[in-house]
Amino acid sequence: MTGIVFHRTDSRPEVVAFYLDRLGFVEWLEQDAGCTILRRDNLLLGFCDGDVAQTDGLVTIVLEDRAAVDDLYADLADVARDPPAVNPEFDIYQCFLEDPDGRTVEVQTFLHPTPPAP
């Protein structure tokens, strides 16, 4: 089963550019009805035109290791809330960013073994 998480945005070109240019997503599908669906590995995100941006929820990007989190943080420090840190409750290494709509984006890696991603 495949799924897509959709968000409404009132600034689709800027939001799409952020995910493409700064977070490494690629365009998967452009819909004439005003939606752009982006893909990064097995994560599909759709951004659709709306009067108000939906910023509830959390977009989480899982990377392979701490070095990858650090590298992405270095590229995105201007939109980061804090530097990466260990979260002992979940045994992860993470940082939080903000996209152009103000939506929270978490970048993390698990510090414990996990099953293979689908």
**Residue pLDDT, tens place only, 46-58:** 999 999 999 998 8
pLDDT at 118: 67
Query: How far apart are the C-alpha atoms of 80 and 57, rounded to whole Å?
Result: 17
Domain positions in the chain? 5-110
Q: Average per-residue pLDDT in the chain? A: 94
For domain 5-110, the question of CATH label 3.10.180.10 is answered with: yes
What value does the mean pLDDT take over residues 15-19? 98
pLDDT confidence band for 27 (50 / 70 / 90) = very high
Residue among 94, 91, 48, 50 nearest 72 (CA) = 94
Residue type, 105: V
pTM for this prediction: 0.88
